[in-house]
Structure formats: structure tokens, C-alpha cells
Amino acid sequence: MTKNHEKLGVFSRMVHAGAFDDPLGAVNVPIYQSSTFAFRSADHGAALFDGKEEGYIYTRIGNPTIRCFENCVASLENGARGIATSSGLGAVTTVYLALLGQGEHLVSTASVYGPSRSVVEKHLSRFGVKATFVDTSNLHELEAAITPNTRLVYVESPSNPSMQVTDIAAAARIAHDRGCLLAVDNTFASPYLQRPLDLGADISLHSVTKFLNGHADVVGGMIVTKDLELHAKLRSVMVAFGCNMDPHQAYLALRGVKTLGLRIDRAQQSAMTVATWLEAHPKVEWVRYVGLPSHPQHQLASKQMLGFGSMISFELRGGLNAGKKVMDSVQLATLAVSLGGVESLIEHPASMTHAGMSRENRLAAGITDGLVRYSVGIENVEDIIADLNQALDKA
């Protein structure tokens, strides 16, 4: 039995949504580490396969621990149902494979997460899928890119790592006017700070690896919709292509999501302090943080998001060489890809997360050679700044 959580506040939902009453009174959702589930009878098995009865058959199709995590995130997104996947990219490709066929067209954010773009250019192109990548923060560019064959508009906001913000409500109107669906990669904001489905998007998806889990110990993904038919279509593709989450992954992610709001509240408060400090530093050329008034879409972000998050991009006056020196000199922050965890991470998109893109495409997406990305963790902000300060001294 699923507890009624619709009237609960968001912090209460993080802790309780999706949980069911365990017959033995377990306070936490157990890990149902079982690949398959016994049927009571031949008729029961047939009824489950036929969809006439609710229940569990096989973990690729569904599992109680995974279902609990799906229901929890669906609740946080104000959606109806969720689909947990083996990775964030599993969520991205499930959306593509469900909604794009031969000769059909995708319009997407140019500065989207690198592999979300390269999988289209390198692999879906082999199956005749067409795509145009534009600056979706410019709604004219977005609208002009839509063709009669466009089925899906895909937006990442804020985008990784250029921190561009797309007007989700306007993008939804444009997409729907032209008969397309809108999917939003909500990884950078998390459902605590942004609810794309409430703004009109059809799909909100996540790399669970980042903020939702938050402890750099799980790779996972999630797709949430309000529409049950769309959910069923996406789920059937996830099951067919076999990119399900594992029960143990779901257990860890459920544990992580309980503190999502607490972690983000602290990290984004520090991020504002760090971004302001960086912007005033003589060795820093520019800082891109959606919470700073200098961010080109700061007003839009204030309207569409419930907070500014903890992701900062910046470039030093000394460009790439100075940036490398900083990355090699930090001691508290870890030089590693990924983001949204309790620990501060620093990385260089042009040679790491976005190395799969051509330099021309990178520059067009606002990813300069010297751009450094910093994911602010929950350490003491004085320690984060002292660490960056000593690293900047060496640059």
C-alpha cells in the first residue's frame, strides 16, 4: 500500500513518498534483491502478464524497491509515474528511442550534456534520426529549428556546463503548437529547484547519479511524466532495451534522496558565496552562475527555478593553462567529473565531459577551452574558498 503523500510538503515527500507499509514493520524500504517473483498460480502469472492484475514478474519489468524510488521521484516532480533506469544516459536514450523513428527529427539544446548529443550524432543517425542543436535559450532559434518531421524538443536547463537557462513554459508552448513533445533534462536543478512538468513539459528526466542520489556512489537515471499513456510507451522501451535500475541501486538512491533538500539548501548557499567571491577575484575572467545578477538569464532563472543550485562555471584570465594549474592545485575539491554530490568537484569540460564534441560545436555551445566547472559540495564554505584561493594563487 502506498502512503498518501500528495498533501505533504516537499521535505516530507523526500523522506516518505513512495514508501509502503512493510509487513514486518521495517522503517526503510527493503532491498528486494530478487530477479524473479513467484506466481500464486498459473492463472495469476497469466493475469500479471496480461496486465489484469498488479504485481511483480521479473526485475527488468518491475521490482518493489525500484518502484518505491520511482514513486518517490514522481511525487517530487508532481508527476504521475517514474521509470528508473540503469544510468542517466539510459533515461536519455529511452526517451529518444521511444519518441524518434527513421526520418524523424529532434531539436535540442546545443550545450546539452556531451553524451546526450553524441549518442544522437554517432548512433541514432545510423537509424535515420535527424537532429538540430540550437541555443534553446533563444526561443526564436528553437522555433525556427522545428520542421514538419520534428517529434521531440529536448531542453537541458540549466545546461551543462554553460549554465544557459531555457524558458521551459515558452518552450512547451512552442513545441505543443507544432505537435511535438517537450522533454527536459532536469539534472542540474533537481525536482527540489525546478518542476518542468508543472511548467508544461511532457517529460522530466534525470541523471540520478548527480543531485538525486548525491553521494557519488550510484549511477542511475529517472524519467517522470504526468501522462500515463506516455509513461507506458516509455516504460515498454526501457524494458525492451533492458536499461532497468537494479534494486540495490534503487535502495541507495532512495537513501540519498531523503536529504536532497537539505544538501541543496546548504550547497547553493555556499555556491552563491563562492560565485560572488570568484567574480571579484582579479585572476578570474568571468563567472557563470545562475544566481549572479551578471548571468544573462538571471531573471528567467529567478522566475522558473526555486533556487539557483550549486553549479558554477568560470574562466581564468590565463585561459586553459591557468585553469589547469587551478585543477592541479586544489586540495579540498576533487578533480573528477560528475556533480551534485556532498563533496566539491572540479573538472575541465573541453578535455573531459565534452571532449566527444568537435571544438567548433563546443565553442558554439559556449564551452570555451578555458572553462572550468565547479560543483559546490556541503563542506564549510570558508574551506572551499580557502582551497580555491591557494589554487588561484598558483595560477
Residue nearest to ligand PLP (CB): 88
Contact (Cβ atoms closer than 8 angstroms) between residue 290 and residue 165: yes
Nearest to 117 by CA among 96, 146, 86, 139: 96
- Name the strands in the sheet holding 345-347, side by side, starting at the edge strand that comes first in the sequence: 284-288, 311-316, 372-375, 345-347, 334-335
Query: What mask, x for binding ligand PLP by CB under 6 A, covers residues 186 to 205?
Result: -xx-----------------
Residue type, 40: R
Nearer to ligand PLP by Cβ, of 116 and 164: the residue is: 116
Q: Let me know if 369 is a catalytic residue.
A: no
CA–CA gap between residue 135 and residue 143 (Å, rounded): 11
Shortest spacing between CB 90 and ligand PLP, in angstroms: 7
> One of 113, 154, 192, 374 is an active-site residue; which one?
113
Alpha helices in 293-343 (DSSP H): 298-304, 319-329
Nearer to ligand PLP by Cβ, of 62 and 161: the residue is: 161
Q: Let me know if 81 is a catalytic residue.
A: no
Contact residue for ligand PLP among 135, 156, 167, 347 (CB under 6 A): 156
Nearer to ligand PLP by Cβ, of 19 and 213: the residue is: 213
* 116 in contact with ligand PLP (CB under 6 A): yes
Nearer to ligand PLP by Cβ, of 118 and 273: the residue is: 118
CA–CA gap between residue 249 and residue 118 (Å, rounded): 26
DSSP β-bridge partners for residue 334: 345
Shortest spacing between CB 207 and ligand PLP, in angstroms: 3
Contact residue for ligand PLP among 63, 75, 87, 93 (CB under 6 A): 87
Candidates 1-9, 34-42, 83-91, 381-389: pick the segment binding ligand PLP (CB under 6 A).
83-91
Which segments of 7-125 are extended strands (E)?
A: 81-85, 105-109
* 113 in contact with ligand PLP (CB under 6 A): yes
DSSP β-bridge partners for residue 154: 108, 183
User: Left (φ > 0), alpha (ψ -120 to 50) or beta: where does 25 sit?
Assistant: left
For the four alpha carbons of 188, 107, 118 and 354, in that order, the dihedral sign comes to: negative
* 209 in contact with ligand PLP (CB under 6 A): yes
* 210 in contact with ligand PLP (CB under 6 A): yes
How far, in whole angstroms, is CA 89 from its chain's centroid?
A: 10
Contact residue for ligand PLP among 68, 89, 257, 305 (CB under 6 A): 89
- Site residues (CB under 6 A) for ligand PLP? 87-89, 92, 113, 116, 156, 160, 185, 187-188, 207, 209-210, 219, 221
